[in-house]
């Protein structure tokens, strides 16, 4: 499980870094600049002021400098990759939670059945309690990151999306750092839990051997 977790966690982090890079390098504030210019142009058209011809010409020239089609395509890729990364993060943390719930129960049942030291299954339960809250926190963090992305997306047509761009960027950076740390903590606890399972299996073999029962492996 430890190696499997490493592969999954690394894939999730890589998927998070790709939309982050697209957002910071390729999009920046250009998408919101496009939305702001389009809004200003609509306001001028609605006002019907002849004195705004120079202003209209300036805004139109700035709009022509922006490759709208390419920018919109990049923004769509950013959204889709962000959603994919979010789903993978939720998937990884869901697997970790399921793993600890299942193995903790298994350790308790085996230790009780073979009358082992209660410290064995209590240690497994403690590892589950240590990992569970942080796994849920990582899942919550990805939801917050996506919500901030929605708030900063000018494609929604809402006013004031530009005000959320910086919050989305900061939230993404903080969220990825938090998720990376949670993955590291999970890896440590999974490795410790795996060693505990091996110890319990060793005790099972010893007890069965002493009782003259069949021992596998």
Does residue 107 sit within a domain?
yes
Does residue 179 sit within a domain?
yes
Closest CA to 79 of 174, 8, 172, 176: 172
User: How far apart are alpha carbons 100 and 123 in whole angstroms?
Assistant: 12
Does residue 55 sit within a domain?
no
Average pLDDT per run of 10 along the chain, which is 217 residues long? 90 93 73 63 62 62 60 82 94 96 92 87 92 96 92 74 80 95 96 93 85 70
Does residue 41 sit within a domain?
no
Predicted local distance difference test score (pLDDT) of residue 64: 56
Q: Which two tokens stand for residue 78?
A: 């950013």
Predicted local distance difference test score (pLDDT) of residue 196: 93
Does residue 32 sit within a domain?
no
Does residue 87 sit within a domain?
yes
Q: What is the pTM of this model?
A: 0.80
User: How far apart are alpha carbons 185 and 118 in whole angstroms?
Assistant: 25
Domain that holds residue 172: 2-23+82-210
* Domains: count for the chain: 1
Predicted local distance difference test score (pLDDT) of residue 51: 47
Does residue 86 sit within a domain?
yes
User: How far apart are alpha carbons 132 and 8 in whole angstroms?
Assistant: 18
């Amino acid at each position: 499980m430890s190696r499997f977790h490493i592969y999954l966690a690394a894939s999730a982090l890589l998927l998070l870094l790709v939309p982050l890079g697209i957002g910071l390098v390729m999009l920046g504030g250009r998408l919101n600049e496009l939305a702001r210019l389009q809004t200003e142009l609509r306001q001028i058209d609605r006002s019907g002021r002849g004195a705004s011809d120079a202003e209209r010409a300036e805004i139109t020239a700035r709009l022509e400098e922006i490759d709208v089609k390419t920018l919109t395509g990049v923004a769509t890729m950013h959204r889709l990759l962000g959603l994919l990364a979010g789903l993978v993060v939720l998937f990884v943390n869901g697997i970790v939670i399921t793993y600890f719930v299942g193995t903790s129960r298994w350790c308790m049942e085996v230790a009780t059945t073979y009358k082992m030291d209660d410290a064995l299954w209590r240690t497994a339960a403690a590892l589950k309690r240590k990992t569970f809250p942080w796994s849920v926190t990582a899942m919550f963090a990805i939801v917050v990151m996506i919500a901030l992305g929605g708030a900063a997306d000018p494609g929604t047509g809402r006013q004031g999306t530009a005000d959320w761009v910086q919050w989305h960027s900061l939230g993404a950076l903080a969220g990825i750092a938090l998720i990376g740390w949670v993955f590291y903590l999970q890896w440590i606890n999974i490795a410790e839990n795996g060693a505990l399972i091996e110890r319990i299996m060793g005790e099972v073999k010893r007890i069965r051997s002493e009782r003259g029962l069949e021992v596998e492996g």
